[in-house]
Structures are given as structure tokens and as C-alpha cells.
């Protein structure tokens, strides 16, 4: 984040963090010589509380964090039909209010977030160890020394992603792809004129990523079964 924040201040740009998968994740700022939490570094940040997230509601929910009081007021208005006070619409807004019942659920679940994140980190470490002998065929997440991720997902890279996903599905193992179509190839942004080949790193990621089972409470024997199924696929592929 240091280089991104530097760019922001050099060109007078606002930095908005997408912290939707990063509740509790930390970044070591060399500039400030301290660990900083995701969602606290930019001018504002967005958190998703979609049910599957590390901190998930029982329905749709999310939050914006910021230290900027003016921005907080504006975001508060946007989520409430643009009202600055009851019946006074200062700007055009929409209904993005968090249900009280969702807030109540999140408040209880927040107490468990640190523990759940620890469980995810332990599971990620276990996957790393189990995949170590397959380093040539499966790329596991890279964890730089300046990051403490919270493993919303455990994502491997393989050029045989679609075949591997099919193999795992047949073995009764659920997987996901986050995400299969990069932003520049989405119909919503077609008018920008980007085409396949313009962002090769994003495109390779979209073609090769596979998210393996990851949630607090994932059992080590289930992780072993997942990795064995991946190894089985790799050995059939190399002999077939």
C-alpha cells in the first residue's frame, strides 16, 4: 500500500480500498514502521458482509470506513436516499441502509472474527505444507513478509484449472473461481475498448485460478482429501 498511497498523494488522487475480503488483514508499512489494518489506510474503504465473507451477515450487508468526517456524512446520505436530515434530500441517493437485524448478527459474530481468521490462517499453512511436494504443478498463494492475510479464499494456480475443477467436482469436492472474467472483458465496460491480450496477467489469473475449500473449522483430514484428489489428477495427467 505504501507505493499506492505515494502515487495517490503525488497525483492528488483518492485511494479507496476494496477490503471486501480482508476483514482483519494487515499490511506492514515500511514508511510508518508499523502494521496497519486493511480498511484503515486509504481515504475510505469498502467492506462486504456478504454471508460467505470472513465476517458475514445473514443477508446483504456492508460498510464503508473512513476517518474523513465530511466523506462519512456524504456516504451516510447516499445510503439513505440522499437525506441530510429527515425529508431533506441534499443529493441523489439510494437505499443502502444496513438492517438492524443484520447489524445485531454482525456485532455478535465480530467477537469471533480474530479466532476464525486464525483458523483460516492455520488451514492455509496446512494446505501450503500438503502442496509443497507438488510445487512444480500447483502454485499456492504467496505470502510476502509485509502481509498478514486472512485467507477469505485459498486460491491455487494451474494451467489445467477447468479439468482439475471437473475432477474435484466428481470427487465430491466443491471449488470456486474468483473470478473467471476480468473487469476489462466484462460487457459493462465494453465501451472502454479493451480486448483480450490487453491485461495478460489478469487474463492468466482468470483462466488459472481455483479456490479450494476454506472456512473456519475446516478439518485437516478434509484438507488431506482435497490435496490427495489434486495429486491424483496431476499423476493421471502426467501419465495420460
Neighbours of 219 (CB within 10 A): 10
Gap between the Cα atoms of 14 and 16, Å rounded: 6
Residues 130 and 222 sit within 8 Å (Cβ to Cβ): no
CB of 48 to ligand PLP, least distance (A): 3
CB of 106 to ligand PLP, least distance (A): 13
Residues 88 and 82 sit within 8 Å (Cβ to Cβ): no
**Distant-in-sequence, close-in-space partners of 192: CB < 8 Å, separation ≥ 6:** 184
223 scored as a contact of ligand PLP (CB under 6 A): no
176 scored as a contact of ligand PLP (CB under 6 A): no
Cell triple for residue 78? 447516499
| Binding residues with ligand PLP: total (CB under 6 A) | 6
48 or 137: CB nearest ligand PLP: 48
For β-strands 44-48 and 16-18, DSSP reports them as parallel
54 scored as a contact of ligand PLP (CB under 6 A): no
CB of 29 to ligand PLP, least distance (A): 21
Helices (H), the chain: 2-10, 69-78, 100-110, 113-131, 161-170, 200-208, 220-239
Residues 13 and 7 sit within 8 Å (Cβ to Cβ): yes
Which of the residues 14 through 43 are near ligand PLP (CB under 6 A)? 18, 20-21
CB of 47 to ligand PLP, least distance (A): 8
Gap between the Cα atoms of 43 and 13, Å rounded: 10
Name the residue number minimizing CB distance to ligand PLP.
48
CB of 14 to ligand PLP, least distance (A): 17
CB of 23 to ligand PLP, least distance (A): 11
50 or 215: CB nearest ligand PLP: 50
The span of 13-21, 65-73, 167-175, 180-188 binding ligand PLP (CB under 6 A) equals 13-21
Cell triple for residue 101? 437485524
For the window 58-77, what string marks contact with ligand PLP as x by the rule CB under 6 A? Answer: ----x---------------
Residues that bind ligand PLP (CB under 6 A): 18, 20-21, 48, 50, 62
Amino acid at each position: 500500500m505504501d507505493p499506492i498511497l505515494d502515487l495517490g498523494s503525488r497525483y492528488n488522487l483518492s485511494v479507496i480500498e476494496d477490503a471486501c475480503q480482508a476483514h482483519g488483514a494487515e499490511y506492514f508499512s515500511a514508511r510508518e514502521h508499523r502494521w496497519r489494518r486493511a480498511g484503515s489506510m486509504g481515504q475510505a474503504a469498502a467492506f462486504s458482509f456478504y454471508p460467505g465473507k470472513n465476517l458475514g451477515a445473514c443477508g446483504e450487508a456492508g460498510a464503508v470506513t473512513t476517518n474523513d468526517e465530511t466523506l462519512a456524512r456524504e456516504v451516510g446520505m447516499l445510503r439513505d436516499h440522499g437525506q441530510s436530515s429527515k425529508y431533506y434530500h441534499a443529493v441523489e441517493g439510494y437505499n443502502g441502509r444496513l438492517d438492524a437485524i443484520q447489524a445485531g448478527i454482525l456485532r455478535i459474530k465480530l467477537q469471533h472474527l480474530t479466532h476464525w481468521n486464525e483458523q483460516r490462517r492455520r488451514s492455509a499453512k496446512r494446505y501450503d505444507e500438503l502442496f509443497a511436494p507438488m510445487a512444480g504443478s500447483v502454485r499456492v498463494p504467496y505470502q510476502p513478509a509485509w502481509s498478514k492475510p486472512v485467507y477469505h479464499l485459498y486460491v491455487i494456480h494451474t494451467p489445467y484449472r477447468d479439468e482439475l475443477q471437473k475432477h474435484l467436482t466428481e470427487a465430491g469436492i466443491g471449488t470456486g473461481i474468483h473470478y473467471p472474467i476480468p473487469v476489462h472483458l466484462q460487457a459493462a465496460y465494453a465501451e472502454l475498448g479493451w480486448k483480450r491480450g490487453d491485461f495478460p496477467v489478469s487474463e492468466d489469473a482468470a483462466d488459472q485460478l481455483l479456490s479450494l475449500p476454506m472456512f473456519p473449522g475446516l478439518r485437516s483430514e478434509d484438507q488431506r482429501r482435497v490435496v490427495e484428489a489434486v495429486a491424483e489428477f496431476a499423476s493421471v495427467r502426467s501419465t495420460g
